[in-house]
Amino acid sequence: MADFSNNIVNQRFRQVYVELEKNKVIKGKSDIADKLKTYNHVINSILKAKRNITVDQLSKLFDHYNINSNFMFGLSDEMFREGGLRLEGMETRYKDEREFGRMANISIVDKKVRAGDALDFGNPAFVSELPKFSLPNVSGENLFAFEVDGESMMPTLTHGDWVVCEYLERNTPIYDNHVYVIATDSFVTKRVQQIKHGQTLKEIRLISDNHQVYQPYQVPVEEVRQLLKVKCRLTSHAIS
Spatial distance between the Cα atoms of 48 and 32, rounded to a whole number of angstroms: 15
pLDDT at 89: 37
pTM for this prediction: 0.59
- Domain architecture of the chain: domains with CATH: 8-92 (1.10.260.40), 108-234 (2.10.109.10)
Please measure the distance between the N-terminal and C-terminal CA atoms of the chain and give it in whole angstroms: 23
Q: Among candidates 8, 2, 112, which has minimal Cα distance to 51?
A: 2
Query: Is the pLDDT confidence value at 210 over 90?
Result: yes
Average the pLDDT over each of 64-78, 84-98, 152-166, 203-217 and give the range with the smallest value: 84-98
Using CA atoms, how far apart are residues 229 and 231, in angstroms rounded to an integer?
A: 6
If residue 34 lies in a helix (H) or strand (E), which one and from where to where?
helix 29-35
Q: What is the rounded average pLDDT of the residues 59-75?
A: 87
237 pLDDT tier (thresholds 50, 70, 90): low
Nearest CA among 210, 154, 212, 145 for reference residue 181:
145
pLDDT of residue 213: 94
Contact predicate 203/220, CB 8 Å: yes
Average pLDDT over residues 167-184: 91
Greatest pairwise CA separation for the chain in angstroms: 68
- Look at 232 and 238; give whichever has higher pLDDT: 232
- Sign of dihedral through CA atoms 20, 24, 28, 30? negative
> What does the pLDDT average to over 1-16?
84
